Amino acid sequence: MSFSAQAAQFVAKDCPKTLALSAARGAVPLNVGELLQVLFVLIARRNDPELVTEAVKTLRQIPAAVLAPVLRNPELHPRLFDLVAKLRLADKTVIEALLSNPTVEDDTLVYLGAKGSAEIVELLGINDERLIAAPAIVEALCGNPNSSRTLRLRFSAQVPSALELPDQNVEVRELEDEAFDDQELDDAPALTDEIEEDDTLSKSGMILVMTIPEKIKMAITGDKEWRTLMLRDSNKLVSTAALKNPRITDPEVLMVVKNRSASDELIRIITQNREWVKNQEIKKALIEHPKTPVPLAIRWMSFLNDKEIKNLAKSRNVAQAISTQARRMVMTKMKS
């Protein structure tokens, strides 16, 4: 990617943080094309969460009428098109400009075909030249719930399942609805529930710009790295969704319980899961956790060995009622 002398200063490795931050916020004397390239580099480098957040915010806020003409430039970096597609998915004017650019890569079109609105799907569906060359785009279109029956019929010979609407995960949908009910979200378009396959941003970088519903979906379906990130999220809908991920393991649950700042809701869910509580390490950690209900913790103390009870009796990191009960148990043991 080549830069003008004016733009290059903002992406130089020795660029002062204050200057880079001004560029990320769009407060620099650059034309839209130059600014777009600078924003892309600041995001792609992913070495500063604040810069990433501000750059993504700016890229989302550039007026469509200003951004669209720039996106028709075939000399822009292909990954830049991919990033814009994800950040401006709901913006028909922007996406239409992308679709008119012959240098946009197939992977970007596959994403748009799978996630785009009905209008975007129809626009992509008439691009016969690209569809013939890339069958994966056709499959993406046929798998999109927004695709019309007419479009599905058109491609049914190529994709036998084209007339079958894909099922959605009911639990994910319900959690997303709850998130929209409970959270005051902005109008920024969704990124994607395929984020983990995108290499433009790291997972820790992407989470900074994801909406609550996106986080919930990733919490339930993501891999261990995503679960670890989502379990730490301050929003209880996100963190509790991660506990509902069917692939979560006992060591991950134990890690949550050993975190003394874990929320009441997370601890409550864990204490109510019989399978997790059967794990002796998890049970012991729950007894020591300050947010575990005291009556429950005292009841579980009967499952501890003598050494663990003695440690509780001397511990200053547990509730007084727990240490007191532990001393009583030690005294009873000594008398017997």
In tens, the pLDDT along 62-104 reads 999 999 999 999 888 888 999 999 999 889 899 999 988 889 9
Residues 26 and 112 in one domain: yes
Residues 50 and 89 in one domain: yes
Residues 209 and 287 in one domain: no
Tell which of 84, 100, 120 closes a domain. 120
* 254 contacts 283 by C-beta, under 8 angstroms: no
Dihedral of the CA atoms 213, 218, 221, 224 (nearest 10)?
Answer: -150
The total number of structural domains that make up the chain? 3
The Cα 86–Cα 214 span in angstroms is: 12
Residues 281 and 241 in one domain: no
Does some domain include residue 156?
no
Q: Which sign, positive or negative, has the C-alpha torsion 46, 33, 27, 57?
A: negative
As a three-state string, the secondary structure of the chain is CCCCHHHHHHHCCCCCHHHHHHHHCCCCCCCHHHHHHHHHHHHHHCCCHHHHHHHHHHHHHCCHHHHHHHHCCCCCCHHHHHHHHHHCCCCHHHHHHHHCCCCCCHHHHHHHHHHCCHHHHHHHHCCHHHHHHCHHHHHHHHHCCCCCHHHHHHHCCCCHHHHCCCCCCHHHHHHHHHHHHHCCCCCCCCCCCCHHHCCCCCHHHHCCCCCHHHHHHHHHHCCHHHHHHHHCCCCHHHHHHHHCCCCCCHHHHHHHHCCCCCCHHHHHHHHCCHHHHCCHHHHHHHHHCCCCCHHHHHHHHHHCCHHHHHHHHHCCCCCHHHHHHHHHHHHHHHHC
Amino acid at 265: E
The Cα 196–Cα 144 span in angstroms is: 19
The pLDDT score that the predictor gives to residue 71 is: 93
In tens, the pLDDT along 205-227 reads 677 767 788 888 889 888 898 99
User: How many Cβ atoms sit within 10 Å of the Cβ of residue 171?
Assistant: 12
Residues 220 and 319 in one domain: no
The pLDDT score that the predictor gives to residue 202 is: 64
Residues 64 and 107 in one domain: yes
In the predicted model, is pLDDT for residue 281 greater than 50?
yes
Amino acid at 260: R
Residues 17 and 77 in one domain: yes
Residues 22 and 97 in one domain: yes
Segment 281-294 shows an average pLDDT of 91
Q: Which sign, positive or negative, has the C-alpha torsion 189, 195, 199, 202?
A: positive
In tens, the pLDDT along 291-336 reads 999 899 999 998 888 898 898 888 888 888 898 998 999 888 887 7
Which among 82, 150, 140, 90 is positioned nearest to 114, based on CA atoms? 140
Segment 182-191 shows an average pLDDT of 37
In the predicted model, is pLDDT for residue 279 greater than 80?
yes
Which among 42-56, 83-97, 189-203 has the top mean pLDDT?
83-97
Widest CA span of the chain, in angstroms? 87
Of the two residues 238 and 202, the one the predictor is more confident about is: 238
Residues 115 and 209 in one domain: no
In the predicted model, is pLDDT for residue 5 greater than 50?
yes
Does some domain include residue 288?
yes
Amino acid at 37: Q
Residues 233 and 314 in one domain: no
Domain carrying residue 315: 275-336
Residues 116 and 181 in one domain: no
Does some domain include residue 79?
yes
Segment 121-125 shows an average pLDDT of 84
Does some domain include residue 135?
no
CB crowding 137-146: b at 16 or more within 10 Å, else e: bbbbbbbbeb
Residues 279 and 243 in one domain: no
User: Would you place residue 123 in the very low, low, confident or very high pLDDT band (cuts 50, 70, 90)?
Assistant: confident
Segment 104-126 shows an average pLDDT of 87
Does some domain include residue 161?
no
Does some domain include residue 83?
yes
Contacts of 235 (CB under 8 A, 6+ apart): 183, 212, 215
Does some domain include residue 62?
yes
User: How many Cβ atoms sit within 10 Å of the Cβ of residue 135?
Assistant: 13
Does some domain include residue 137?
no
Segment 128-157 shows an average pLDDT of 78
- Chain centroid to Cα 109, Å, comes to 21
Tokens standing for residue 251: 């060591």
**Mean pLDDT over the full length of the chain:** 81
